[in-house]
Chain A
Amino acid sequence: MDMKATKKKLGLKEKYAHMTRGLGWETTYQPMDAVFPYAKFEGIKIHDWERWEDPFRLTMDAYWKYQAEKERKLYAVLDAFAQNNGHLSITDARYLNAIKLFLCGISPLEYVAHRGFAAAGRNFPGVGPRIACLMQSLDEIRHAQTQIHALSNYNKYYDGFHDFKHMLERVWYLSVPKSFFDDAYSAGPFEWMIAIGFSFEYVLTNLLFVPFMSGAAYNGDMATVTFGFSAQSDEARHMTLGLECIKFMLEQDPDNLPIVQKWIDKWAWRGIRVLTLVGMMMDYMLPKRVMSWKEAWEIYFEQNGGALFNDLARYGIKMPDCVKQCTVDKEHISHQAWATFYQYGGAAAFHTWSPTDEEMDWLSAKYPNTFDKYYRPRFTYWREQAEKGNRFYSNTLPMLCQVCQIPMVFTEPDDPTQICYRESEFKGEKFHTCSDGCKHIFDDEPEKYVQSWLPVHQIYQGNCFTPSANPADPAFDPMLEVLKFYNFNLGHDNMDYEGSRDQQNFNTWRGLATKNV
């Protein structure tokens, strides 16, 4: 036989199709609905999985080769960083508090993303999207592990990094990012793709990933910036997957549009609420700032996101309604969040502090409409009190939003002096939310959100103490017992940066490294 004739070179697209979707088959010994049990319950209609366009064409051997090369470089840098006391090259140890928030609040969620994409990579009946999801699952465990490994060196020298998984599950403000991912993973595979694949990875990633990594670069944090750069090409793949997924769903059936729109609206608002923590980090926690939260929002959401939604308009997708409120909120949320953490600094696993005069001037310049009018007086007053030895710590517990789980600290869209709250009723009980956006989400799926494990409610119900706690003891201090339940190193993880062990150690060690004592 003449083999030469049949062995013409295949095109890349053709070859990749053989390597992937050619592998699947329609099962006959077991019904397809039993093999793919979660493909239909959300109401999304897919008629032809073959219409899926592979957003990137990567075979496993190429994946191993490229990724291994990146891993070799990354770990070489991390080894050098550890060997050369790289932690002393950062601008100031205050900076590390942003990274503590990242390790406790974000890295464990990269892990959940890994599991969620593994599930999506098993559950879609189409081979193309399954392989793309599995590669993302693999990337996500990479991100969780490279972050843990990069920040492991900081954990050896600084407080607040030491028990991140335990804290994520329990600590009040960490329930904000945790519940976000729990929410997405507890939904079906299509909603997961809109929540994480599209809204989080595509629309919001520039507001999460970029500020943290740029902040690291601006503040001399070689460890973080290295995993950030190393993850960039992975993130680019994830963005194209998220976009392909939404287009595919919309092209398959017109009935999918209202479902997809509802999910976009929900996950845009859920995501934006989580990003409050990023806004606070950018405006208050970086010794050397990259840009203000407001500027980041304008560039990455209003401009870039606007272009994206214009592009999606041909499918009938509209910009989420909540964006109107965001244009008001962008002037306020970072200040309101930092003010909250400043007050609850006794119950946070990172340090807080008063902004300096120079920092407040920067904030005035960046927020000419709001900072001097609403926030400078508050921070100035607290600082004066602290200087007199009355550093203010709130010992009460704030009420939390039933959906986003952030304390009710945000203000009414039309009145920045009035706390905003909304109320819904479900089965005779009242539930409170922080905004129209969260109330809307609650009212749409109350059965889901009444399940929320709200840290403050749980404390009041007595569910947040260690087994050795004895409420009958006259010396019982409930707040202290809660912090033990969180496994805080009291006095080291929490309280003001001024006078902290981190501050003292960093200054001493930097002295050792730069002076002849």
Chain B
Amino acid sequence: MQIDLRTVAIKPVRQTFDNIARRFGDKPASRYQEGTYDVQQTDIFHYRPMWEPEFELFDERRTAIRMKDWYALKDPRQFYYGAYTIARSRQQDAAEANFDMIEERGLADLLPAELRQTALDLLVPLRHAEWGGNMNNSFIAAYGYGTAITQPCLYHAMDHLGVAQYLTRVGLELQGPKALDDAKASWMNAPLWQPLRRYIENTLVVRDWFETFVAQNLVLEGLVYPLIFDRLDGEFSAKGGTPISMMTRFMGEWSVETAKWIDAQIKVAAAESPDNKALLNKWLAQYRGAALEAIAPLAERAFGADAEATLTDLTNEFNSRCAKQGLSV
């Protein structure tokens, strides 16, 4: 049975802002739409930036990718700030409960020594790579074009900081502050980590922000996350390392969610024009090769004799994911 309360009904003069009505017609708009579309200024800037006088403050020429409408790059999750923080706060509640349980029951102390060492060697230094992910995405948030893509890149940057902080807690949980010092030394000097560190430092000097997006979000995350938070995580679970899986559950879920958003960006940009597609293919080939080299030592450490098979498998999955977005693999 339905009950209807009566309210004083007043007919609105208009349903939404003009910029939204010009795109979608004058009808009620979502909070994602009103908070995202056309929020970045596009016309008439007063001064050229002192730090880059060849461009306007917001300038679509900062990438070689061309879009007729930059708002075609919309976020399938429809994240505006409120939706974003509420989604993440639910995930952090779950993560917090996991950490609490591990601490209360001393579960970390029960881990087999070999798994503990693998986690210390592979998960903890990765926090520096995550910090690189933060830097690359804050670069896009600052210098990219159109709120549709710059907004989620800031969220993505902050997520990387969150992941880096969860990995820090893993180190503190497993061994205390020494784990962080060892991980930092390893990140700076151990042969295991140098190829990845070089890859990331090379992305930090890229000036085309869409290239950064491909190098960091599509390629690097597309290979590192499945390797560490899917394949290696499977090993942890299978061999009695469930507490480690509990501490990295956030990352596993997060990478599945964010991959959908990343794919949507690549798909739309590739479909826009043959030039875009050619450029994306070029970047894909360039960075996939470099990233596979960068993660080879990690796969070796994680899977030993099975490393090559695991990487082949991952590459195939990654290639088929890229093919679905219209890229040539």
A residues near B, CB below 8 A?
A: 3-4, 6-8, 10, 14-15, 18-19, 22-25, 27-30, 34-35, 37-38, 41, 59-61, 63-65, 67-69, 71-72, 74-75, 83-85, 108, 111-112, 114-116, 118-119, 121-122, 127, 130-131, 134-135, 137-138, 141-142, 144-146, 148-149, 152, 155-159, 161-166, 168-170, 175, 178-179, 182-183, 185-188, 448-449, 451-453, 487, 501, 505, 509, 512-513
Contact = CB atoms under 8 A, between A and B. Distances in A.
Given A118-B138, A156-B13, A186-B47, A148 B35 contact: yes
Contacts, number: 251
A509 B10 contact: yes
B141 A162 contact: no
A114 B158 CA distance: 13
Interface stretch (B89-97, B262-270, B273-281, B285-293): B89-97
A143 B299 CA distance: 44
B236 interface: no
B51 A41 contact: yes
A215 B247 CA distance: 48
A437 B187 CA distance: 52
Contact of A121 (B41, B46, B138): B138
Contacts of A142: 81-82
Contact of A30 (B7, B88, B142, B201): B201
B118 interface: no
Nearest to A2: B109
A313 B135 CA distance: 36
B19 A163 contact: yes
Interface of B: 7-8, 10, 12-19, 29, 31, 34-35, 38-51, 57-58, 80-82, 85-86, 88-93, 95-96, 108-109, 127-128, 130-131, 134-135, 138-139, 141-143, 147, 150-151, 154-155, 157-159, 161-162, 164-166, 168, 172-178, 180, 184, 187-188, 197-198, 201-202, 204-205
Contacts of A112: 41
A512 B17 contact: no
A186 B59 CA distance: 13
B141 A108 contact: no
29 contacts: A3-B174, A8-B176, A18-B168, A23-B128, A23-B131, A23-B161, A25-B187, A30-B205, A35-B204, A38-B51, A60-B159, A64-B88, A68-B90, A85-B7, A119-B143, A134-B154, A145-B81, A152-B34, A157-B10, A163-B18, A166-B19, A168-B41, A178-B46, A179-B46, A182-B46, A183-B46, A186-B48, A188-B50, A452-B46
B299 to A, nearest CB: 21
Contacts of A182: 45-47, 57
Which of A6, A61, A146, A183 has the most chain B CB atoms closer than 10 A to its own CB? A61
Which of B29, B41, B47, B95 has the most chain A CB atoms closer than 10 A to its own CB? B47
A161 B77 CA distance: 28
B44 A170 contact: yes
Contacts of A183: 46-47
A80 to B, nearest CB: 12
A65 B89 contact: yes
B39 A64 contact: no
B18 A166 contact: yes
